[in-house]
Chain A
C-alpha cells in the first residue's frame, strides 16, 4: 500500500533538489568566508568594468571641453577625484554585495538543513 505521507515528503524533497537545492548545494560547498569573498571580488570586478565603461562614455561626451582645458587643468587633482569616485563606487557596491551574498549563504544553509531533516525523516519512515 502506498504511504501517502512518504510520497508527499519525497515529492517535496525531490522538487527542492531539482530547483533551488542545486544552487544551495553549490553555495554550501564553499566555506562562508570563501563564498562571500569570491562573490564580493566578482562584484568589485563588475563595478570596475562598469565604472570605466561609463567613464569612457563621459570622456567622449566631454571630449571637446577636455581637449580645450587639458593644459589648464590640474591633472593630479582630477585623477585623484576620479580615483575617489571609483573607490566609492566599487566600495559601495562591494558592501551591498557582501550583505546580499551573506544573507544568501545563510538562507542556503537553512534550506539545506530543512532538506537534510526531511531526508532523515524519510529514512526513519523506511525503518519503521
Chain B
C-alpha cells in the first residue's frame, strides 16, 4: 500500500512541501529575531511612538464614533493630545480617552456624561487600584470591537495574562457597549426634553442593564480567559495552540448557546469568522511570546534529601540572525592614485 503508484508520485511533492514549510519557518524565526533585535535596539524611540499611535488611533476612533463635541473633534487637537500621551505613562492614554468620551457625551446630554463619569470613576477607584497593568485592556477591547475582532482579546489575555484579566475585559466590554448604545440612541436622547432628566437617566441605564448581548459577551469572554489560561498551563504538548483552539471553540459554543437562551440575535457567521481571525491573531501572539520545540523535549529525574524531581524541559526555538559584512577590496580612489603613480 505504501509503495503504490499514487503514493510514490505523491511522496516527492509531500517532501517538497515539508521542505518549503521548514524553510518558511526558519525565515519566520529569522524575521522574529530581526524584529526582537530592532525593538531592543530602538526601544527608546519605539515606546513613545507606540504610545503615540495607540493614543492617536483610540482618540480618532472615539471621535469617529461619538464626535458630538466639535471643539475636540479636531485633528490638530487629537494630534497634540496624542503627542502629549507619548511622553506620559501608558495608563495616561486611558484617562485621556475617558475624558474624551465624557466630554463628547456632555455635548450630547448631561445625563450621559454623568453616567459615563460614574462608570469610569468606579472602574478606576475600585478595580484598577489592584491591577494597574491591565488598564490598557479597557482601551483595547472597544478598539477591537470597532475593528470587528473583539474575540481576540480574551484569547490573548488568557495566553499572556491571568484569570483576573477577565474583570478588565468585562470593564472594556461595558465601555464598548455603552459607547455603542449612546451612539445609536443619540437621536432619541437629543429629542428628549431638557427638564426630563430622570427619564433620560432611566432610558440610558435601562438600555445598558437590559442589554442581554452585553451580558452574554461578558460571560463568554470571562469563560474564554479562564479556559485559555488553564489549558495553557497544562503539561501537554502544544499547550498554547490547544489553548487557542479550545478558547475559540468555547467562544463560539457559549455565544451560540447564549444566543439560543437569551435570544440576542447575534450573527452566527460573524461569530465564526471573527473567532477564526482572532484565533489566527492569537497564534501570532503565541509565535512571539512562546515558541518552543516539543520534539527536543527532555525528561530528567533526580532526587535530593527531601524530594524526587521529575523535570520536563522544553527548549525554546532560537535562531541567530545572519550577520552580513561588506568587504571592500578595491576602492576607486586607490585606482586613480595607482594610475597617477604609473604616469
Residues of A within 8 A of B (CB): 42-43, 46-47, 49-50, 53-54, 56-57, 60-61, 63-64, 93, 97, 100
Q: Is B15 an interface residue (CB 8 A)?
A: no
A contact patch SS: helix
| Residues of B with C-beta under 8 A to A56 | 118
Q: Is B70 an interface residue (CB 8 A)?
A: no
Known: A42-B129, A46-B125, A54-B122. 18 other contacts (CB 8 A): A46-B126, A46-B129, A47-B125, A47-B126, A49-B125, A50-B121, A50-B126, A53-B121, A53-B122, A54-B118, A57-B115, A60-B111, A60-B114, A60-B201, A61-B198, A61-B201, A63-B198, A97-B129
Q: Is B233 an interface residue (CB 8 A)?
A: no
A49 and B129 CA atoms in complex are apart in Å by 14
Query: In the complex the two chains form, is B198's CB within 8 Å of A60's CB?
Result: yes
Q: Which residue of B lies closest to A39 (CB)?
A: B129
Q: Which residue of B lies closest to A48 (CB)?
A: B125
Query: In the complex the two chains form, is A60's CB within 8 Å of B126's CB?
Result: no
A47 and B125 CA atoms in complex are apart in Å by 7
Query: In the complex the two chains form, is A43's CB within 8 Å of B129's CB?
Result: yes
Query: In the complex the two chains form, is A50's CB within 8 Å of B122's CB?
Result: yes
| Residues of A with C-beta under 8 A to B201 | 57, 60-61, 63
A109 and B126 CA atoms in complex are apart in Å by 25
A77 and B197 CA atoms in complex are apart in Å by 27
Q: Which residue of B lies closest to A45 (CB)?
A: B125
Q: A57-B114, A57-B115, A100-B130 are in contact. Are A50 and B202 (CB under 8 A)?
A: no
Q: Which listed residue, A43, A54, A61, touches B202 by the CB 8 Å rule?
A: A61
Which residues of B (108-137) have their CB < 8 Å from a CB of A? 111, 114-115, 118, 121-122, 125-126, 129-130
A97 and B130 CA atoms in complex are apart in Å by 8
| Residues of B with C-beta under 8 A to A100 | 130
CB distance from A95 to the nearest CB of B (A): 13
Q: Is B28 an interface residue (CB 8 A)?
A: no
CB distance from A38 to the nearest CB of B (A): 13
A93 and B125 CA atoms in complex are apart in Å by 11
**Binary flags per residue of B191-226, CB closer than 8 Å to A gives 1, else 0:** 000000110011001000000000000000000000
| Residues of B with C-beta under 8 A to A93 | 126
CB distance from A88 to the nearest CB of B (A): 14
Q: Which listed residue, A43, A57, A64, A97, touches B118 by the CB 8 Å rule?
A: A57
CB distance from A92 to the nearest CB of B (A): 11
| Residues of B with C-beta under 8 A to A47 | 125-126
CB distance from A20 to the nearest CB of B (A): 12
| Residues of A with C-beta under 8 A to B115 | 57
A21 and B227 CA atoms in complex are apart in Å by 32
| Residues of B with C-beta under 8 A to A63 | 197-198, 201
A97 and B131 CA atoms in complex are apart in Å by 12
A53 and B121 CA atoms in complex are apart in Å by 8
CB distance from A85 to the nearest CB of B (A): 15
Q: What are 7 A-B contacts defined by CB distance under 8 Å?
A: A46-B129, A53-B121, A54-B118, A57-B114, A57-B205, A60-B114, A100-B130
A61 and B126 CA atoms in complex are apart in Å by 22
CB distance from A67 to the nearest CB of B (A): 9
| Residues of B with C-beta under 8 A to A50 | 121-122, 125-126
CB distance from B202 to the nearest CB of A (A): 6
CB distance from A77 to the nearest CB of B (A): 24
A63 and B122 CA atoms in complex are apart in Å by 22
- In the A-B complex, the 3 residue pairs with the closest CB atoms: A63-B198, A46-B125, A60-B201
| Residues of B with C-beta under 8 A to A61 | 198, 201-202, 205
Query: In the complex the two chains form, is B121's CB within 8 Å of A49's CB?
Result: yes
CB distance from B40 to the nearest CB of A (A): 13
| Residues of B with C-beta under 8 A to A46 | 125-126, 129
| Residues of B with C-beta under 8 A to A64 | 198
| Residues of A with C-beta under 8 A to B205 | 57, 61
Q: Which residue of A lies closest to B114 (CB)?
A: A57
CB distance from B207 to the nearest CB of A (A): 12
